[in-house]
Amino acid sequence: MTARLVALCIDANDPHQLARFWSNALGWEIGKEGEDTLDLTSTDASFEVVFRKVPNEKASQNRVHLDLTTESIDDQNDTVARLVEIGARHVDIGQSADEGHVVLADPEGNEFCVIEPGNTFLAGCGRLGSINCDGTQALGYFWSEALGWPLVWDQDEETAIRASDRTGPLITWSGPPLMPRIGHQRFRLDIAAPAGESQRAEADRLVRLGASRTDIGAGASDAVRMVDPDGNEFRVLATG
């Protein structure tokens, strides 16, 4: 039995504004709205993207970014122009001038890439092609075991996994060297314990795989807070 990916959680100073930007960027629907949260849902993926309000602003380049796919050069150009018009901006993270993808930042400075058409690595993915993470090869192995998602790439210390039904985006890890960890982590995964299993039992399984506990909730409905083998925060929710 493996955990289920429930959500990619993104911290935001203005979650409603940022969620609406990403709804436009991804073509995902706005779901539940709360005072300090807003969810996006899609028929192309089995998880949500959840924006949560935080007071602290982005302090450094994120260790996670999203890759958006395009179907043609016109689609790539139109996507970039449209997203810049609604609040994105071009950023330089060291990419070379001859690379086919375009690097942008959303209205709160979160980096993302608009990938060139014909990219075979992301072939068959929807608009959200990948959740691209800074991380070691061992981290790809950990999350493959944690979620039961098979490895679809494992080469030169870079790894990628995808849901076993081949729907939704890849989750990828770029291998060493790792970026310095500066400031607050703005992207995190929420996973749910398997049906019939407690959060504590699932946390114990993840510890055996290499994770560590950071905060065990006091009640059955509380999230279990953990870090993966590279020190990235995630939460284990109750089955549901």
| Domain annotation covers residue 178 | no
Residue 137 lies in a domain: yes
Chain segment 147-170, per-residue pLDDT in tens: 999 999 999 999 999 999 999 999
pLDDT above 50: residue 229? yes
Span 202-223, pLDDT tens digits: 999 999 999 999 975 444 447 8
- With respect to residue 166, please indicate whether it lies within any of the assigned structural domains: yes
**Backbone dihedral angles phi then psi of residue 48, each to the nearest 5 degrees:** -100, 165
Categorize the per-residue pLDDT at 91 as very low, low, confident or very high, splitting at 50, 70 and 90.
Answer: very high
* Count of structural domains, the chain: 1
Is the confidence at residue 27, as pLDDT, over 90?
yes
Is the confidence at residue 89, as pLDDT, over 60? yes
Confidence band of 99 (pLDDT split at 50, 70, 90):
confident
- Quick check: is 216 in a domain? no
Mean pLDDT of 18-25: 97
Please report the pLDDT score of residue 93 as a whole number: 86
215 lies in a domain? no
Q: Which domain holds residue 108?
A: 4-173
> Is residue 183 situated within a structural domain?
no
In a domain? residue 68: yes
Residue 20: CATH number of its domain: 3.10.180.10
pTM for the predicted model, two decimal places = 0.94
Burial 44-79 (b: 16+ CB within 10 A, else e): ebebbbbbbbeeeebeebbbbbbbbbbeeeeebeeb
Q: Is residue 179 part of a domain?
A: no
